[in-house]
Amino acid sequence: MDAARAARNASGVVSTAGDSVLNRSIMQLLEHVDYRLITGGEDLEAIYRLRYKSYLRSGMCGPIASGMFEDRWDNLPNSYRFGVYCYGELASTIRFHYISREHPNSPSVDAYPEILIERLARGETFIDGTRFATDPDSAPAPGVLPFLTLRLAMVASRYFGQNSVLTPVKLEHSNFYARYFNAVQRTEGKVFPGVLAPIALFEIPSGENMRLTLERFPFFRSTPTEQRLMFANPAINRLTPLSIVPTAKYYRDAA
């Protein structure tokens, strides 16, 4: 949700270098990235501290005595919390909820019930991506953290096969999501639970849009094994953290 300086840098990198250079750069960086499905302990505290640092810096939240940012949705049974580690250092974090008629609880459902409640009742399903936070000081290169982090949303999409991905974002970041994911704005900016800045709901359609995005950006691809490791069980149900190596370079259409 808070791409901040990294998202702005990303737009500049791609606008001058083109998709092919971006693809080569990210594929090379994935050699030094692992994704960690966070369960508890020091890893969980680390992503909460990163959220707080990022949100405080960007004006998304005020001072919190604990120095950590967590909320009531973190421990839901349909919650997946991830840390993105570059060269062994935590560089960004994001959380997903897979929401359906059977599991309708997530931040976006609470924030935008007028948009989502009826659609869930009709049987639509969504991935709700929230609490995106980055540490630009730990970025392996300028502007890459949004791509390395949001790759997780593409892996989730391949696993769940949902109708669309929901992403609540600041309006100043909307061009990034529209340009690279064909995101469609569904609401005006409004108060979003837990943060100070107005947030608008954007929706990234699946189906043909997903196919074209994976074709344009091969680093978003993943094998079924990677998909299962990430999303077969929510992090809250695991006893230990699980580190997952990205598999874009191993991807084959027949996998």
Q: 238 exposed, middle or buried (CB, 10 Å; 0-12, 13-18, 19+)?
A: middle
* CATH T-level fold of 4-231: Aminopeptidase (3.40.630)
pTM above 0.75, yes or no: yes
**39 three-state secondary structure:** coil
According to DSSP, the residues that pair with 86 across neighbouring strands are 33, 89
- With 70 as the cut, is the pLDDT of residue 166 above it? yes
Q: How much is the pLDDT for 111?
A: 95
Mean pLDDT lowest among 18-32, 47-61, 208-222, 232-246: 232-246
- Residue 197: other Cβ atoms inside 10 A: 18
Mean pLDDT lowest among 4-8, 30-34, 159-163: 4-8
- With 60 as the cut, is the pLDDT of residue 152 above it? yes
- With 70 as the cut, is the pLDDT of residue 134 above it? yes
- With 60 as the cut, is the pLDDT of residue 221 above it? yes
pLDDT in tens, 103-126: 999 999 999 999 999 999 999 999
Question: Predicted confidence band at 239 (pLDDT cuts at 50, 70, 90)?
Answer: low
Q: How much is the pLDDT for 33?
A: 95
| Entry field: residues in the chain | 255
Find where tokens 């978003």 sit: 220
